[in-house]
Chains A and B, each alone.
Chain A
Amino acid sequence: MFPLQLQSIIPKPLEGLYGVESIWGKRLELAAGSSYLIKAASGKGKSTLLAYLMGLRSDYFGELLLDGKPIQQFSPSEIAVLRANEIAYLPQDLRLFVHLTALENIQLTGQVSETCSKVEMLSMAAQLGIAEKMNSPCGKLSFGQQQRVALVRALCRPFKLLLLDEPFSHLDDDNIGIAKKLIEEAVEKNSATLLLTSLGSNFGFQLTQILTV
């Protein structure tokens, strides 16, 4: 799917509402194995960019190319394969199934082969302090706990691109540190590209580039 090229992308809702330093309307290439932070205040289109990369939204001018092919030309089944095997995504609203247990949420993936054993899942959960919550319905967990469940779900998948939308918004500093370590390990294991959004901090990640929107 690499190189991943943004060619003069401008979200239709933000037309004329972005600054000169913004990536909107510019040409940009995201390389394989690199780490990027998208830094901006709320409402500038950070989550929107991730939704474009996931193929969830297409309300933009310009073109978004995956390995030279506009993402809008991908068929629904090709998109499904991409999401199952190449892109892992942690959305800001987490998108968990509240009546399923934390473990069931983590296990429910579209790809055919297992990438993470149950032991690995439970080990990650334990490191993030939610091991005892694994058999509880997600609806019963706090938002911070749910955020950690969603992070484990994203990391326990095969990916070439990891999209994390403000993944630490409800975590304390200790958990942020542990989460960061787990993210770095997973990215390294998958030789993947990381795209992280944040309101300001870079959380100590080794970054290839900081992008502003």
Chain B
Amino acid sequence: MKHWKLLASLLFRHTGRWQMGFNLLGSLLGFLLVLISLQFFLDFKSLLSENTDLVKSQYLVVNKKVGMLNTLSLGSSVFQKNEIEELKKQQCIESVGEFVLNHFNATANMNIAIAGAQSMFMELFFEAVDNQYLDINPEGWNWHIGDKEIPLILPNDFMNMYNFNYAPSHGFPQLSQATLKWVTFDISIRGNTGKQAHFIGKIVGFSNRISTILVPKNFLDFANHEFAGGMKTKPHRLILKARNEKMAELTNYIDRNGYEANTELMRNGKFSGFVYNALNILAFAGLLVILVSLTGFIQFSQLLVSKSKYELETLSMLGFSTSAPIRLYTIFYLLAYCIIFIVSLLGVYLIKDYLSTWLFDKGITLQAGVSCVVALSGLGLMLVLLVINFIALRNDVQRIMA
């Protein structure tokens, strides 16, 4: 462009350095906020889909709160059919599993004395739930009519209680999961009618998710039919398969209806909901800052153009077309936005790098680097802002020079 240096000195001579600096800083901040929110949103999403510790809250066991009325047998802790239907309708819940309880007496006798320990006798209870709700699928987890051996899944907490509370205080040896899997029990079942049967119990696995003694559902259905005359009751406990991203909604629903759930899982749910909300707020704040800085930039460019009114009119009188000043202003904004874009990407990279190290120490691994989606979104945002700025600028220059 001919005389571009002279033109630049004319058109930018009214530019306040502080004013321009603050505008650039505002836009940079807005860009950084939007891109960093997007980056964390993507990271968090991939964390959720990887099912890490942070979000094992996909399954939630819920029951009704037990109060004084229950103790006095005036209240009921069972879930009614309409309550279950209502739960199923919630968007945050994918499916609802009902726990089946035994309606017969069962006792266990440990028939192998371990390391000198006395044989143990205890009253038992069983629960069963559809296999899809289990966190493990151990070998031997099946039962057919006629089988004498019943596979059992015990809660992991039970192992811990035995090993760290019961065994030391009674002088029993501590047992590993593998050892316990070798242990079998005599299980005696006696129905209300007096009908009896003997089975052998065998531990096949340990569950983190469900705190109960689990048996295969078809066994419990069979046993309830055989020994309790087919008695069916409504469930006291339900297991919910919940959508990760809706955990906050679900925990609210559970609180509202006076249900109870595993508190740690609830906390995780609340945490993931909180993170989602925080990221949304961050992205929203970033967009607001961008909008404000865009308004600032447009006002700045209007001010720049209107302050250069004399120069633009005189240039027009000297035969300059509008394209020369528009081109100069556009180059200026292009440069400004490129710097903003590159610096914000660098900022996202550095902040993520810092946070990744911090999270790694906490046992959470994020994928390295800035996501392609973030870079492309930043580029797209930059182009949109440039176009808006260009249109505003062109109109102003044409108005003065026409």
Contacts and interface: CB of A to CB of B under 8 A. Distances in A.
Contacts of A108: 3, 6-7, 315, 318
A212 interface: no
Interface string B323-339: 01000000000000000
B401 A76 contact: yes
Given A107-B3, A108-B6, A84 B319 contact: yes
A185 to B, nearest CB: 22
Contacts of A109: 318-319
Interface stretch (A7-15, A17-25, A93-101): A93-101
Nearest to B322: A76
Interface string A86-125: 0001010001010110001001111110000000000000
B13 interface: yes
B313 to A, nearest CB: 8
Contact of B317 (A77, A89, A111): A89
Interface in A54-105: 54, 56, 76-77, 80-85, 89, 91, 95, 97, 99-100, 104
Contacts of A77: 321-322
Contacts of A95: 313-314, 317
Given A76-B398, A95-B314, A99-B13, A104 B6 contact: yes
Given A80-B321, A97-B311, A112 B2 contact: yes
B318 A83 contact: yes
A54 B317 contact: yes
Contacts of B324: 110
A85 B316 CA distance: 13
B179 interface: no
Given A104-B6, A108-B3, A91 B318 contact: no
A80 B401 CA distance: 9
Contacts of A54: 317
Chain B interface secondary structure, helix, strand, loop or mixed?
A: helix
Contact of B315 (A82, A110, A111, A112): A110
B363 to A, nearest CB: 64
A85 B320 CA distance: 11
Nearest to B5: A104
A110 B314 contact: no
A100 B316 contact: no
Nearest to B314: A95
Contacts of A89: 317
A111 B2 CA distance: 9
Q: Name the interface size band of chain B.
A: 20 to 34
B10 interface: yes
Contacts of A107: 3, 6
A56 to B, nearest CB: 7
A76 B311 contact: no
Interface in B1-29: 2-3, 6-7, 9-10, 13
Contacts of B311: 97
A140 B105 CA distance: 111
B324 to A, nearest CB: 8
Interface in A108-147: 108-112
Nearest to B398: A76
B161 interface: no
B402 interface: yes
Contact of B318 (A99, A104, A110): A110
Nearest to A82: B319
Contacts of A112: 2
Nearest to A113: B2
Contact of A91 (B2, B317, B320): B317
Contacts of B402: 76
Given A76-B401, A95-B314, A97-B314, A111 B6 contact: no
Contact of A85 (B9, B313, B319, B322): B319
Interface in B280-314: 311, 313-314
Contacts of A84: 318-320
Contacts of A157: 319
Given A76-B322, A107-B3, A112-B2, A100 B317 contact: no
A80 B319 contact: yes
B322 A111 contact: no
A80 B320 contact: yes
A100 B9 contact: yes
B319 A110 contact: yes
9 tightest A-B CB contacts, nearest first: A84-B319, A110-B319, A83-B319, A80-B321, A110-B320, A95-B314, A76-B402, A110-B318, A108-B6
27 contacts: A76-B321, A77-B322, A80-B322, A81-B319, A82-B319, A83-B316, A83-B318, A84-B318, A84-B319, A84-B320, A89-B317, A91-B317, A95-B314, A95-B317, A97-B10, A97-B311, A97-B314, A99-B13, A100-B6, A107-B6, A109-B319, A110-B319, A110-B320, A110-B321, A110-B324, A111-B319, A112-B2
Given A80-B322, A107-B3, 18 more contacts: A76-B322, A76-B401, A80-B316, A80-B319, A80-B320, A81-B319, A83-B316, A83-B319, A84-B318, A95-B313, A95-B314, A95-B317, A97-B311, A104-B6, A108-B7, A108-B318, A110-B320, A110-B321
